[in-house]
Amino acid sequence: MAVIIVGGSGKSVGKTSLVCGLIAALPEFHWTAVKVTRHQHNEGAPSMRRFSGAWMGNLDSVQTHVFQNPIWEETEAGQATDTARYLAAGAHRALLVLSEGGSLPLNELLAALGPGGNLIFESNTIAAQLQPSLCLGVIGPEAEVKPSFEPFMKGMDAAVVLEGTWTALAGTDAAMPVFRLEHLKRLSEEMLGWVRGRLPAPS
């Protein structure tokens, strides 16, 4: 199983765009894409369902009951939500998972997925619970970073930045690869080759 984790130094630095870029560039992996959130919001609720198979109702119902089950599956590709963007990029499945107290319901997630498949996560915190094939950190131009990104930096395999926006961060390995992309949804040939060389063959 291939497992990629994409983290980010702050909000709106392009984590979702990079996840979508990886999904589109590596379609043979038939990714299940997982967005991990600590916030109880109803983003994308009308187009999502619980793994129990019970379809979600209107927004009022969702606001009351959405997180009785912390794992939800996106059902419609589009641009309205991050999980819908995963499907639009070519993900086989797209999930939204609530991380309660910083801990992911990993057993429930793996049981819901079943055997086989490859996973790509958008999260700073899941790296502490998994041994991924690859950790990629998207770094924005601001010098300050989210507290959740500080431990992520210590284990990430490469940094990804928009061309012209790199800001050096304390705690990163000087020898760590830094990929500078014109657009985070379009991987360079150099980066794509590097990523492929660090993933197991797709099952």
Residue 56 reports pLDDT greater than 50: no
Q: Is residue 201 part of a domain?
A: no
Which tops the pLDDT comparison, 41 or 83?
83
Q: Is residue 99 part of a domain?
A: yes
CATH value at residue 70: 3.40.50
Sheet holding 71-74, edge to edge: 48-50, 71-74, 93-98, 31-37, 118-122, 3-8, 134-138, 158-162, 178-181
User: Which residues form the domain of 20?
Assistant: 3-196
Q: Is residue 10 part of a domain?
A: yes
Q: Is residue 142 part of a domain?
A: yes
H and E: helices and strands count for the chain: 6, 9
Contacts by 16-19 with C-beta closer than 8 Å and gap 24+?
A: 16/82, 16/85, 16/86, 16/122, 17/183, 17/184, 17/185, 18/136, 18/138, 18/160, 18/184, 18/185, 19/86, 19/89, 19/120, 19/122
The structural domain count of the chain equals 1
Summarised one tens digit per residue, pLDDT across range 119-153 is 999 999 888 888 899 999 999 887 678 888 888 98
Summarised one tens digit per residue, pLDDT across range 65-113 is 344 457 888 889 999 899 999 999 999 999 988 776 666 767 767 776 7
